Amino acid sequence: MPIVLESIVRWAVLAAYFSVLLMMSVYGAHRWYLLFLHRRHRDQAPRPVTIFDELPTLTVQLPLYNEMYVAERLIDAVCNLDYPREKLEIQVLDDSADETLDIARRAVARKRAAGFDIVHRHRAVRTGYKAGALEEGLRLGRGDLVAIFDADFVPPPDFAARLVHHFTDPEVGMVQARWGHLNREHSALTRVQSMFLDGHFMIEHTARNRSGRFFNFNGTAGIWRRRCIEDAGGWQHDTLTEDLDLSYRAQMKGWKFVFDRDEVAPAELPLEMTAFKCQQHRWAKGSIQTARKLLPRILRSSMPARVKTEATFHLTANFGYLLMVLLTLLVVPAVWLRREISPWWIAAVDLPLFAFASVSVAWFYAAAQREVSGTFRGIGRWIPFLMAVGIGLSVNNTRAVLEALRGRPSEFRRTPKYNLGEGDSVAARRYRGRASGDIWIEAALGVYLTLAVVGAALTGLWAAVPFLMLFQVGFLYTVGTTLLQSRRVPAHP
């Protein structure tokens, strides 16, 4: 290669590499800022201004779609809520096309015979998916307040009685509880998922809500004021995250939201990599769809700059996965092109950026686990694995981001739940997912990074080996787990 051309390629690669790293460090710096806000406002827990003399009527909506293993568990848990029966209405909004229909109907009939105001509503056509079911149920419900639980949740008996009193403030439009985890210890994958979610709730939600920024209803384990939903334009299904969309529209209308992190509703985490990736794809795509829909309106509004800035970081956070894929492709040539430079000089330039981009991730989730468990003990060994799994998701979530940017529609695909008992096996369950075409890209990146690790070791670039191995493990774990789980039995539709 001519010297001039080689020089151009070198500087083009390094410019792209540092540009990506700089953009990632900006999002990393924002994560540090959330930690600052959390620390500053952590003790400012929301409290009801008073309590109701007479509890308001509560409609509980249970959207279902092919949930044969958990439908009855959910119905039983909701009927165990410690709330006056004459004030409690339960809607089973069932779009199922399998045995779930009969299971839910029998459970509803049993509860009606026991004196509960509970109905089973079935839609043969899933117009609007979950958002459509919720909207239809809202039109038919009688409650001033509306609680929503997805099929994998098991709300505690005191859930509603503890949260409804926040609505004594007429400006409060929604109250969100924290998610717990029924199967946190099932596997390494569920352990990492619980850490991701704990970071979202314990740090992000706390920091945003208590500092006066917008935060979002998470689709379940929360209570809405009916008038707030209607005032904000109702449930809409032009994004895959109807909960995020409605949350921002409601807060833009001036409604106050409350995050009560002391109230915990436990739920089942996805057990398989394919299910986890499906869930993450839906959330990533939906957030970018919501950003396209609402962010221009937010930025043109008269809302405070702190609200606009946080909304921008929140709604565009999944661009980080696109940056991660670019960094994966660029990091090897960037290291190789500087192989003749002293490692100390490379460290002096790269490490400050890496500190913002990656150390912030480690501390963010470590701090969340400290909030949950009360100690840092045992957290350190999980953080590198958590970061590797996040990297392994980057191809899956990058596809979601690109689909949203292109305006490509897709079906709302729910996450399978299994309600495993002692001795039960996932392999014997229905609803098992199939590996997508992404797996071949992930496998190629895993091989690419394995060769890079070997090459770095052979040429003495030891400083690059741990960083490259983090990427390598992330992609190979994603591929290996997907293949292992997918080959056990043929997946059911």
The CA distance from 244 to 218, in Å, is: 7
Q: In this structure, are strands 88-94 and 58-64 parallel, antiparallel, or unpaired?
A: parallel
CB–CB of 418/271 below 8 Å? yes
243 is catalytic: yes
**Are 472 and 332 in contact, with CB atoms under 8 Å apart?**
no
Q: Over the chain, what HEC string results?
A: CCHHHHHHHHHHHHHHHHHHHHHHHHHHHHHHHHHHHHHHHCCCCCCCCCCCCCCCCEEEEEEECCCCCCHHHHHHHHHCCCCCHHHEEEEEEECCCCCHHHHHHHHHHHHHHCCCCEEEEECCCCCCHHHHHHHHHHHHCCCCEEEECCCCECCCCCHHHHHHHHHHCCCEEEEEEEEEECCCCCCHHHHHHHHHHHHHHHHHHHHHHHCCCCCCCCCCCEEEEHHHHHHCCCCCCCCCCHHHHHHHHHHHCCCEEEEEEEEEEEECCCCCHHHHHHHHHHHHHHHHHHHHHHHHHHHHCCCCHHHHHHHHHHHHCCHHHHHHHHHHHHHHHHHHCCCCCCHHHHHHHHHHHHHHHHHHHHHHHHHHHHHHHCCCCCCCCCHHHHHHHHHHCHHHHHHHHHHHHCCCCCCCCCCCCCCCCCCCCHHHCCCCCCCCCHHHHHHHHHHHHHHHHHHHHHCCCHHHHHHHHHHHHHHHHHHHHHHHHHCCCCCCC
| Residue of 94, 152, 198, 243 marked catalytic | 243
How far apart are the C-alpha atoms of 6 and 174, rounded to whole Å? 58
The residue from 95, 150, 152, 260 that is catalytic is: 95
Burial of 56 (0-12, 13-18, 19+ CB in 10 A): middle
CA distances from 217 to 3, 229, 255, 461 (A): 57, 12, 13, 46
Is 95 part of the annotated catalytic residue set?
Answer: yes
| Sheet containing 172-181: order of strands | 118-122, 88-94, 58-64, 145-148, 222-225, 172-181, 256-267
Annotated catalytic sites, by residue? 95, 243
